[in-house]
Structure 1
Amino acid sequence: MTFPQPSAVQRRQANKAVVATVIGNGLEWFDFTVYSFFSVIIAKVFFPSANELTSYLLALATFGVGFFMRPVGGILLGIYSDRRGRKAALSLTILLMAAGTLIIAVTPGYAQWGLFAPALIVFARLLQGFSAGGEMGSATAFLTEHAPAGQKAYYSSWIQASIGVAVALGAGAGALLSALLTPEQLESWGWRLPFLFGSLIGPVGFYIRSRIDETPAYASVERAQSPLREVVRIYPRQTAITFSMVVLWTVCTYSVLFYLPSYSTRVLGLPSGLGFTAGVLGGLVLLVATPLVGRLADRHGKRPWLLGSAVAIFCAAWPLFWMLNRWPGLPSLLVFQAVLGLLISGYLGGLLAAFGELLPTRVLSTGLSVAYNFAVTLFGGFATFTVTWLIAATGSPLAPAFYIMFAAAISAGGAALFRDATSGQPSGESA
C-alpha cells in the first residue's frame, strides 16, 4: 500500500513528539531500573533481616507491589488521556513519578526511622506504579497518532528505545558508583544519587511535554463517553490479543534487562560492576536495534517480526542461561546481553504499532493501558521475585530461562492471532 509523503511540518511535529517521548519515558523508566539494580542494597537499608534471602525477597516484593497500582493508574489515566488529551496525561504521569522517586531518595533507613521507613518506600512504589500505569498507553497513543502514515512502527519503536536509554543510564550509574565508591559508601549514601538524579524528571520532563502539540488524530476524533466500557464491550478480542503479546515484553524487561546485575552478583558470584557494565550494552542494543526493526516492520509487516522473535527467544533462553553459568564472567555477560537484546529488539520493534492497529484512536489509550498493565502486574511486576524464589526452591540457576520460555509461548500465540492491517484503518475499527 502506498502512503502519501508527510509534509515538512508534519515530520517536524512527529520528530518533536519522538524527542519528548524518549526523554520523558526514558527518564521515567530510569527510576524503575535503578530500584531494580540497587535492590540488594535497598534490602539491607530498609528491610534488614537475619536471613539475607528474606531481606532480598522483601525488597523485590516492594518493587512488585507498585505493580498492583498499575491497572488502577492505567485505567484512570488512560480514561483521562482519552478524554482530556495525550499531552495532559503525559505531563501528569511524569510529575507523579518524580514525586515517588524523590521519596525513595530522601527517606532515612530502617535504622533511623524503624517501620516508618519501609512504609514510606512502599507508598513511593505505589505512587510510581500508578504513574507508570498511565505512561505507556498515553505515550503509545501519542507517538502512533503523531507518526506519518506508513511509519507508525518506526516512530512508536522509539518508546521501546527509550527503555534502552533507561537501562543504559541505570546500569551506567551503577557501574560508575561501584567503581568510584567503596561498598560501605555505596550502601551508606551512594545508592541514593541515581534516585536524586531521577527526581529531576519532574521539572525537566514536564517542561518538555508541556511544549508539544496535541496529536492531530486525537484532536479530530469524537471523544468516547465511556472508554473503559467501550473497550470491554466492543473490543474484548483485540484487548486479549494485546494482553498476550505484552507478556513476553514485560517478562524480558524485568527478568532479563533489569534483573541481570542482581543475578550476576547473587547467583554467579561476580562483582557488581560486571553486571552493570553488561547492562549498559543491553540498553544500547535496545536503543539502536529497536528503531531499525521498526523501520523494517513498516516495510515488510509486523507479524513476522513478532512471531519469529518470540519463537527465537523461546529457543535461545535456556542455552544463554546455561552459557552464563558454565562460563561466568564479563565476556559471557556481554554475549548474553547482546544476543538477547537483539532478539528482544526484534520483538519490540513493531509491537506498539500492532496495538495501534488493534484498537481505534478513541479508546486506544484506555484499551492499551488495561491490557498492558494487567499483563505487567501478573507477569512482570513480580518477575524478579518469582525467578529468585524459583532459583531458591529448585536449586537451579537456570530457572529464569523457563519463565522466559513460558512467556514466549504465550506471546507467540498472540502474535499468531494478529494480522497486519491491510488498509489505513486500524483493524479494531473494522472488526
Structure 2
Amino acid sequence: MTQAHQAPSPLATVIRVTSGNFLEMFDFFLYGFYATYIASTFFPSGNEYVSLMATFVAFGAGFLMRPLGAVVLGGVIDRIGRRKGLILTLLIMSCGTILIAFVPGYATIGIFAPILVVLGRLLQGFSAGVELGGVSVYLAEMAPPGRKGFYVSWQSASQQAAIMAAAALGFALNRALSPAEVGEWGWRIPFFIGCMIIPIVFVIRRHLQETEEFKARKHRPAFREILHSIAANWRLVVLGMMLVVMTTVSFYLITVYAPTFGKSVLKLSAADSLLATFCIGLSNFIWLPVMGALSDRIGRWPLLVTFTVLPILTAHPVLSWLVNDTTFAHMLEAELWLSFMYASYNGATVVALTEIMPAHVRTVGFSLAYSLATAVFGGFTPVISTWLIQATGDKAAPGYWMAAAAACGLIAALALYRPWRGSRVEATAA
C-alpha cells in the first residue's frame, strides 16, 4: 500500500466526508423553495395558507425524528466507527429522498400521498439526526492541531454549496419552463437530480478512512454505557442545545424559508427569490471557513457572544426596513447581513460543540444537542415564521424569532465559557 493511499489529501477527505451533507441540504432546500407546489400537489385544500402550513408541518415532522436518530445512530457511530456509521446514515437518507421524489400526487393516490411524503421526511430526519454530528466529529478528529475550527466549518460550508447548486438549478428551470409547467411537474426535476447524485455520494464516501483518534481508542462503549454517560452529562447536552438554537433558527430562516418569504410575503418573483438565496449561500460559503479559522486564533467565545448580541439588536429592525421598502436589492442587503451574523456565529459554534462533549460519546452527545435544537426550534422556523406573520400582521415578525434564538445562544455561551473566570471549555479541551 502506498503512502499516498495511507494519507489522502485533506481536501479529498473533506469532500468525501461532507458529500452526504451536500445531498441532505440539497433536498431540504428544494423542499423549502418548492413548498407552494408541494402544498398543492400533496396537501391540497381550499385555503392556500392551510395547505402551506400543512406542507411546513410535514417538513418539520422530519426534525422530530432527529433526536431519536441522534441517540440510536450516534451510539452506533461511537461504537463501530465514523466511516461505517456515515455510510449507514447515507443509506437511510437516500431512502427518504427517493420516496419524496417519486410519490404520486394527492389527485392520483389520495391520502396516501401526504402519508408517504411524511414517511420520507421521517426517514430523512432519522438519518440527519446524526449526519451533521458524525461529519463534524470526523472533521474535528482528523484536523491538525490548532485548526479544528477551520476544518469543522467545512461541514456547514458543504451545505451552502448545496444551496447554491439547488438555487441555480431552480433559477434555470424557471427560465426554461412556464410557471404552470413548474407547478405541474417541473418542480420534481431537481428532486430526480438529487436521486441521481446518490450513487455518486456512495462511491465517494466508501473511500473514507477511519480517524486515527477513534482507532487509538481502547474502549468502545456499549449502548447502555452511552446512554448512562449522556444522562450524566445532561447539562452539557442542554447547554449545547441552547448554543445551537441560534445557528439552526437563523440558517433555516435565511435559506429554507427565504424563498417562500420572498415570493409569498414580499411578492417578489421566483427568479429574484432564487437569485437572492444563491447569493446567501455564496456569502455563507465564504464567511464560514473565515470565521472558523478566526475562532482558532482568538477563541470561540468572542465570536459566540458578539454574534448573538448583534441579532438581538438588529434582526427585527433589518426585516422591518425590508418590508417597508421592498426591492430585490433591499432583500439581498438584508439577507446578506443576516447571513454574515449566522456564518460568523456558526463558524465557532459547531467546533465548540465537538469540544464540550466527552470523547467516548462525542458523536451521540453532539448529535443529540444539535437535533434537539433543530427539532424543537430550527426545523419549525418556516411554520413559526408563517404563523407569526399571520398572527401579528407584522411581516417582519420572523426577526423576533431570530432574536429570541440569539438570546438562547448568548445565555449558553456565557454559561459554558464564563469569560470572566477563564474559558471552561478551552481549559477542558486542552
The bucket for the TM-score relative to the shorter chain is over 0.9
Alpha-carbon distance in 1 for matches of 2:100, 2:333 = 33
Assess if the C-alpha contact under 8 Å between 2:17 and 2:208 holds in 1: no
Q: Give 1:17-416 correspondences, 5 Å limit.
A: 17-221=13-217, 222-225=219-222, 226-233=225-232, 235-416=233-414
Aligned partner of 2:39: which letter? Answer: A
Residues 389-398 or 152-161, more deviating: 389-398
Is the 2:19–2:205 Cα contact (8 Å) retained in structure 1? no
1:339 positional shift: 1.4
TM-score using structure 2 length: 0.94
Letter in 2 for 1:39: A
2:254–2:339 CA contact under 8 A, matched in 1: no
Shift of 1:415: 1.2
Of all paired residues, the percent bearing the same amino acid is 37
2 CA distance for matches of 1:26 and 1:299? 28
Using the alignment, how far apart are the partners of 2:170 and 2:418 within structure 1?
Answer: 40
Letter in 2 for 1:137: G
Per-residue CA distance 1:296-338 (angstroms, 9 max, x = gap): 1101111101111111122221122112212212101211222
Distance 1:20 1:54 in 2: 41
Displacement of 1:41 after TM fit? 0.7
Query: How big is the alpha-carbon RMSD for the aligned residues of Structure 1 and Structure 2?
Result: 2.2
Moved more, 288-297 or 318-327: 318-327
Q: Is the 8 A contact 2:18 2:135 kept in 1?
A: no
Matched residue, 1:4 = none
How far did residue 369 of structure 1 move?
1.1
Instruction: Give the deviation of 1:426 after TM superposition.
Output: 6.9
Classify the secondary structure of the residue corresponding to 1:418.
helix
**Deviation readout 1:52-74 (Å, 9 max, x if unpaired):** 10011011111011111111111
The whole-number CA distance in structure 1 between the counterparts of 2:274 and 2:7 is 37
What is the rounded CA distance, in whole Å, between the counterparts of 1:41 and 1:56 in structure 2?
9
Distance of 1:428 and 1:169 partners within structure 2: 39
- Supply the distance in 1 between the matched residues of 2:108 and 2:102 (Cα, whole angstroms): 12
CA distance in 2, matches of 1:333, 1:180: 24
Letter aligned with residue 76 of structure 2: Y
In 1, Cα distance between equivalents of 2:428 and 2:78: 16
**How far did residue 358 of structure 1 move?**
0.5
Tell me the CA shift for residue 341 of structure 1. Answer: 1.1
Q: 1:9 to 1:378 in 2, by over 3 A?
A: same
For residue 420 of structure 1, report the CA deviation from its aligned partner. Answer: 9.4
Deviation at 1:33, TM superposition (A): 0.8
Q: Deviations over 1:201-245 (max 9, x none)?
A: 431112111101101111112222221221211x22222221111
CA distance in 2, matches of 1:387, 1:88: 38
Give the Cα–Cα distance (whole angstroms) in 2 for the partners of residues 316 and 21 of structure 1. Answer: 35
Q: Matches of 2:196 and 2:69 in 1, distance apart?
A: 22
Structure 1 residues without counterparts, runs of 5 or longer = 1-6
Give the length in aligned residue pairs: 423
TM-score, with length taken from structure 1: 0.94
